[in-house]
Structure 1
């Protein structure tokens, strides 16, 4: 079941510049990591004023040539990238949404940019033409919560690099073709 919005992804080749903007907007970097299989760095920013709101802005930037986002940055430039929904069972939601006509980019869930995060991307064609990410976050045993970032504003913040996770290559993460 979809539990709510986990985060909104912004694509950029200038994460420091986007970070400065998010700082002005009252956001603080809570977790950073890499989704190595996609060749991207992921910084999650949450409100510094509302500790009860774990909805995040994810700043996505390439870490290498040939990353899954290179072509999109080259053709469309930086900007809105995807909307991510927290789910309680990523495999069930992936199957359900495929049955409703969404196009799976990932056939199976993959490790995401936060510790304990599994993700899968799908396209919603016309009229939305939207890249959707499903996110299943391991339950935090201390709080029992699902989908919350692993660290909030400076305490236990992951470094810019997480332990690399070998993953098979995936299709480029770009917008779906028109008419689909």
Structure 2
């Protein structure tokens, strides 16, 4: 199974406040912007590309969203690291065979067609890792 860095998710309080930094200072390009109102997600997303790297700026849409809880508990900053895999189902199976636990309620397809799941941070020494594929 190949694991390729897909993107880094960054929790922010306000996309509009931080976006100029990514566009003007880091010379990034805004390639997508959308809102996910799915239960358990509730987030505004701005996707920024710098050269061959992708960052997702994640702004909570309500005080109970996972990103709002993250910002309240840990502050702004890196929320997760995402790895693209060839076959998400196979990657999950292989990881489970190696004792990795997942946050099973996170398995979903987002509004942009990306299938994803998050590994339980207890299995990754505290880092929230997303596995994803694009069908």
Confirm or deny a common fold (TM above 0.5). Answer: yes
Secondary structure (helix, strand or coil) at the match of 1:129 reads coil
Match of 1:143 in 2: none
Match of 1:46 in 2: 49
Highest RCO, 1 vs 2 (Cα 8 Å, sep ≥ 6): 1
**Counterparts of residues 10-21 of structure 1 (less than 5 Å):** 10-21=10-21
Judging changes above 3 Å, is the alpha-carbon distance between structure 1 residues 25 and 105 closer, same or farther for their aligned structure 2 residues?
A: same
**Counterparts of residues 5-44 of structure 1 (less than 5 Å):** 5-23=5-23, 24-37=25-38, 38-44=41-47
Secondary structure (helix, strand or coil) at the match of 2:128 reads strand
Higher-Rg structure is: 1
Judging changes above 3 Å, is the alpha-carbon distance between structure 1 residues 127 and 91 closer, same or farther for their aligned structure 2 residues?
A: closer
Match of 2:64 in 1: 66
The runs of 5 or more residues in structure 2 that have no matched partner are none
Deviation at 1:6, TM superposition (A): 0.4
The alignment's TM-score, normalised by the length of structure 1, stands at 0.66
Number of residues of Structure 1 aligned to a counterpart in Structure 2: 132
Higher helix proportion (structure 1 or 2):
2
Higher strand proportion (structure 1 or 2):
2
RMSD of aligned C-alpha atoms?
A: 2.0
The runs of 5 or more residues in structure 1 that have no matched partner are 139-180
1:133 and 2:130 aligned:
yes
Alpha-carbon distance in 1 for matches of 2:59, 2:99: 29
